[in-house]
Structure 1
Amino acid sequence: MPLLFLNEKSWNTTCDPARAERAMADFVDAVRAVAKEDPSGTSLVSEREVKSLEISDGYPIGKWIGSSPRNHARWQRLLALQNRSPVRSVFPTDDADDHLEYRHDGETALGLGAAHFMDGIAVSLPVAHPWQTVSVALDRSELVELDDGSMELAHDSVDVRHISTPPHVDEHRTWIRRSSLARAATGRQIWDLRADLYPHLQFLSGAEAQLTDLDPRWIVPVRRCLERLEASTAAWNPATSAEPQWQTKVTPEGETRKRVCRFEDFDGEWRTFHLHARFTPGAGRIHFRLVGAEGAIRIAHIGGKVRPDL
């Protein structure tokens, strides 16, 4: 179910009423074009109520809605998509332990950043030149954990999928169709679809509750991490290599930490699952062990950093 995230930076810019009318028509048509490609339904997520926005300086969207029956009809189509998703932020912006921030042209870009973090598409009002493109470059800062357990603020550049007019949808059509068929949007869906999505990954029974109760901020990061572990394991030949060539960062626990990474395996034996991949925000972990005889990895823990029992 592709998520569209409203780029709040593209609104309330200066343009004449005729340009604002054309921009709104393109915007609504682009959103509807995505919805047509996604049979499971498309959601438009915004930080503020769309009806409270100004298309351009001094031209509120309410005035646009009431200016013609055609605009009112367009608004009803847009409103139907927005109602499927709450107006909310989808990732932390002010918690020092979960620091994650996206900027565009030096300014915080919540909607654009949310689209990247949630593996969705950013959608803009096509008035200014920066929004006439199928992808937008962002500067990202993220608090990451180093191998020694310390935290460091890392900076990099990322590209987010982007649309503002119907032709932009053509560039993302294949991805939209593929994601609408295979996407797991909740932890419960990840568990239910695990055999189809991750045939080389085995999950201990405890992972079911961990996925079902997964923090919503972690759905996409966990899904991405599992996808990379699956791709790594699918290409693995245990006869020629002791472990896969990992497509995500995988590290072992130190000797002291190994003691807290023991889990009851399928056969009732307690084994050490100290290899782990990481995901953010925060200290997310997927703990597993290699099962070379089956060309698989067996996952015991999905969640925060494993803590010793008190």
Structure 2
Amino acid sequence: MELVFNELSLTKPFENLVVARNKMKKFVLLIQELFSHGISKDLRVADDFLHLSLGNEYKIIQWLNDKEVDLELKRFFKARISRKPYIDSHNESHLYNNFISSEFIHNEITCKGLGIAYLLDGIAISILSHEDWDTHLLNLNFIEVNSSGELFEEVIEVRHISNSKHFELHKPYCDDRKKLVIGDLEWRNSLEEIFPSLNFCERAKAQLVDYKKGDPILEQIKNRLIELNNYFIKWEKGGFDSTVVPFKVTPESHRTLEQYREEHTFLCPDGEYRVFSWHLRMTPGAGRIYFIPDEKTRKCIIGHIGNKLKTVSDPT
């Protein structure tokens, strides 16, 4: 899982050198702890990272040359920030294109690191410079203009860490991710074993197999299925609660299901045809997963994994 630095956590310099050194030490020790648990091997930072200010006239590059700072701590940190940029525009062209066509805003400020952490489905990490960063989740406003010129806005959540207690809250999800660090095709051939609370229609299985190995959207699909599976494992009583799912899920409108009922109807594993309304969006892009919460079995039926289906507002 990728670890991405949140540059907004260094918007205001620390009041003195002692505090700056102490905050930086805690930050590097936190990175060491995360790496020891298998959370990434490098820290993604911006090109200007070394010139960000920790204090008045005291930048990160000066901290790396500070004789008062432990030498091994500096060596470790320098090695971890020199391998991966925020985005490699050549080798990660899909990520770069999604980033430049979207905007991510936190508290009315454009944020690069938090946005990239979301696109990578990774974890943002901050220096604990303010109480705003003492949280394991951050809300962002996501804005995208698609190829048709349509404006899409959504409030999204980004996983975030600034101390050890935040990592403990993310650990179950990270453990689930580790189980799927296998060949792309292999996990797609083991759906029932990996996702015991999800029942896949043959259509959805075929759609998964059609994606080429290494296709960027597969990672996002995989992670959305993990989170859906976790929700339905815990669903023991009451109706389906879309507000508890850790990403936005919505039903289609009544008009859409009337006009495009056939396009939303799929054969289910029990031999019955059902209309699929609930869906989630892969962001950015046109990817969708359509599903039905089955209140009898307390499981989820996955009917469609692919581009968005026809709606009244977008019949193409």
Is this a same-fold pair by TM over 0.5? yes
Q: CA offsets per residue over residues 75-118 of structure 1, 9 Å max, x none?
A: 332244446654328584442xxx452223x3112223444565
Q: CA offsets per residue over residues 257-298 of structure 1, 9 Å max, x none?
A: 34445778779x996764451213333311356889977555
Question: What is the Cα deviation at residue 194 of structure 1?
Answer: 3.2
SS of 1:122's equivalent in the other structure is: strand
Matches within 5 A, 1:1-310: 1=1, 3-11=2-10, 13-15=12-14, 16-36=16-36, 38-39=37-38, 41-48=40-47, 50-68=49-67, 71-82=70-81, 85-88=84-87, 92-95=98-101, 99-104=102-107, 106-115=108-117, 120-126=122-128, 128-130=129-131, 133-135=134-136, 138-142=139-143, 153-154=152-153, 156=155, 161-163=160-162, 168-169=163-164, 171-183=165-177, 184=180, 188=184, 191=188, 194-203=191-200, 204=202, 205-210=205-210, 216=216, 219-220=219-220, 223-224=223-224, 227-228=227-228, 231-232=231-232, 235=235, 245=240, 247=242, 248-251=249-252, 254-260=257-263, 274-279=276-281, 280-288=283-291, 297-306=300-309
Q: Tell whether the 8 Å contact from 2:195 to 2:226 is kept in structure 1 after alignment.
A: yes
Unpaired segments of 5 or more residues in structure 1? none
Q: Tell whether the 8 Å contact from 1:186 to 1:219 is kept in structure 2 after alignment.
A: no
| TM-score of the aligned structures, taking structure 2 as reference length | 0.66
**Cα gap change, 1:144/1:178 in structure 2, threshold over 3 Å: closer, same or farther?**
farther
Question: What is the Cα deviation at residue 29 of structure 1?
Answer: 1.0
* CA-atom RMSD in angstroms: 4.6
Q: State the alpha-carbon separation in 2 of the partners of residues 26 and 231 from structure 1.
A: 34
Q: State the alpha-carbon separation in 1 of the partners of residues 64 and 9 from structure 2.
A: 19
**Cα gap change, 1:82/1:207 in structure 2, threshold over 3 Å: closer, same or farther?**
farther
**Cα gap change, 1:249/1:196 in structure 2, threshold over 3 Å: closer, same or farther?**
farther
Question: What is the Cα deviation at residue 256 of structure 1?
Answer: 4.3
Q: CA offsets per residue over residues 61-80 of structure 1, 9 Å max, x none?
A: 33322333954422332244
Q: State the alpha-carbon separation in 1 of the partners of residues 103 and 182 from structure 2.
A: 21
Aligned to 2:246: none
**Cα gap change, 1:155/1:284 in structure 2, threshold over 3 Å: closer, same or farther?**
closer
Question: What is the Cα deviation at residue 182 of structure 1?
Answer: 0.6
Q: State the alpha-carbon separation in 1 of the partners of residues 78 and 298 from structure 2.
A: 48
Q: State the alpha-carbon separation in 2 of the partners of residues 55 and 229 from structure 1.
A: 42
Question: What is the Cα deviation at residue 130 of structure 1?
Answer: 4.2
Q: Tell whether the 8 Å contact from 1:122 to 1:160 is kept in structure 2 after alignment.
A: yes
Question: What is the Cα deviation at residue 8 of structure 1?
Answer: 0.9
Q: CA offsets per residue over residues 182-233 of structure 1, 9 Å max, x none?
A: 1157993763663344213233332333555686367447633663366348
Aligned to 2:92: none
Q: What amino acid sits opposite 2:61 in the alignment? A: G
Q: What amino acid sits opposite 2:24 in the alignment? A: M
| TM-score of the aligned structures, taking structure 1 as reference length | 0.67
> Between Structure 1 and Structure 2, how many residues are aligned?
286
Q: State the alpha-carbon separation in 2 of the partners of residues 13 and 294 from structure 1.
A: 52
Q: Tell whether the 8 Å contact from 1:232 to 1:246 is kept in structure 2 after alignment.
A: no
Q: What amino acid sits opposite 2:54 in the alignment? A: I
SS of 1:301's equivalent in the other structure is: strand
Unpaired segments of 5 or more residues in structure 2? 89-94, 243-248, 311-315
Q: What amino acid sits opposite 1:28 in the alignment? A: V
Q: What amino acid sits opposite 1:112 in the alignment? A: L
Q: State the alpha-carbon separation in 1 of the partners of residues 195 and 156 from structure 2.
A: 29
Q: State the alpha-carbon separation in 1 of the partners of residues 125 and 11 from structure 2.
A: 15
**Cα gap change, 1:214/1:39 in structure 2, threshold over 3 Å: closer, same or farther?**
closer
